[in-house]
């Protein structure tokens, strides 16, 4: 039974690594700036899911705090970048 769970955790970690690799290729190759911001968005979501899966694996509550901080700061950075692309300024006077 524990073999099933640890196998699933390994499989999920592999999937998240491949997803982060795809997002990294799009980040380096993206033709427009919007593509790069979208790739950063996908990248931090995949990283947050990786941290959550590691939290299941090691059974520690610290990983939950790290994942929550990653979600919050990732949203702030993506929203600021999108706002910069939209307006040319992040905080308008």
The dihedrals phi and psi of 54, each to the nearest 5 degrees, come to -65, -30
Smallest gap from residue 91 Cβ to another protein (A): 14
Q: What is the helix, strand, coil percentage profile of the chain, to 5?
A: 85, 0, 15
Smallest gap from residue 93 Cβ to another protein (A): 20
Cα separation, 44 vs 40, whole angstroms: 6
Q: Does 20 bind another protein (CB under 8 A)?
A: yes
Smallest gap from residue 20 Cβ to another protein (A): 8
Instruction: Using DSSP, state whether 76 is helix, strand or coil.
Output: helix
Q: Does 47 bind another protein (CB under 8 A)?
A: no
Instruction: Using DSSP, state whether 30 is helix, strand or coil.
Output: coil
Residues that bind another protein (CB under 8 A): 1-2, 4-9, 11-16, 18-20, 22-23, 25-26, 32-35, 37-39, 41-42, 45-46, 48-49, 52-53, 55-61, 64, 67-68, 71-72, 75, 78-79, 82-83, 85-86
């Amino acid at each position: 039974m524990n073999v099933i769970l640890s196998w699933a955790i390994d499989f999920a970690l592999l999937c998240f690594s491949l997803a982060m690799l795809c997002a990294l290729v799009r980040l380096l190759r993206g033709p427009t700036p919007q593509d790069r911001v979208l790739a950063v968005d996908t990248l931090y979501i995949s990283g947050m899911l990786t941290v959550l899966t590691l939290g299941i694996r090691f059974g520690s509550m610290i990983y939950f705090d790290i994942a929550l901080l990653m979600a919050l700061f990732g949203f702030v950075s993506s929203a600021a970048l999108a706002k910069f692309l939209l307006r040319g300024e992040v905080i308008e006077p």
